[in-house]
Amino acid sequence: MDCLAAEDLNERIARAWATDLSTGQTQDLATRRGSRCHFFEPFRAGPYEVRLRLDWQDIDYQGNPTLDADFCDPETGRVDVSMKRHTAHHTSAQPDGLRTYLWKFRDAQLALQIGLSWRVTLPPAKVQVTATCTRRVIRANGK
């Protein structure tokens, strides 16, 4: 699968969601104009606010996007660029074919399964219509 262009993301994927396999909780993932990512709700892990996203520009051999993490200062919102070297910054899907990601950072662990509803466009079909009609004639004199 080729990576998706930003303008194709919403045209090709109708809905993306993540299920936390340890709690069963599901969240819909959001898109942003001009981005090739699906975004999770931010959460706290250690001293950081973590912002996860599925990056459709960086796909693996199975056609799955990479799970990227930005580690932000919760007070300023600034990304800690030194964390780009941490193993938790990029997480690949498990080779199970189910879009499962095991994300770990310090004491935080997430087992996420990603669900996708794809949009499918079919070419116009040729339609043949057959009609039948009957008629009944009633004369003015009733005969």
pLDDT tens per residue across span 20-75: 999 999 999 999 999 999 999 999 999 999 999 999 999 988 889 999 999 999 99
Q: Is residue 100 part of a domain?
A: yes
Count of the separate structural domains present in the chain:
1
Q: Which tens digit of pLDDT belongs to each residue from 98-126? A: 899 999 999 899 999 999 998 877 777 77
SS3 string, 65-111, reads EEEEEEEECCCCCCECHHHHHCHHHEECCCCCCCCEEEEEECCEEEE
Q: Is residue 132 part of a domain?
A: no
Q: Is residue 26 part of a domain?
A: yes
Q: Is residue 19 part of a domain?
A: yes
Q: Residue 143: its pLDDT value, please?
A: 53
Q: Is residue 92 part of a domain?
A: yes
Q: Is residue 136 part of a domain?
A: no
Cα–Cα–Cα angle for 115, 121, 124, nearest 5°? 160
Q: Which domain holds residue 82?
A: 6-118
- Residues near 27 by beta carbon (within 8 Å), at least 6 away in sequence: 17, 18, 40, 41
Q: Is residue 123 part of a domain?
A: no
DSSP 107-135: TEEEEEEEEEEE---PPPPP---------
Residues in the chain: 143
Backbone CA torsion sign across 76, 34, 16, 68 = negative
Whole-number Å distance between alpha carbons of 64 and 87: 18
Q: Please report which confidence band the pLDDT of residue 9 belongs to, taking 50, 70 and 90 as the band edges.
A: confident
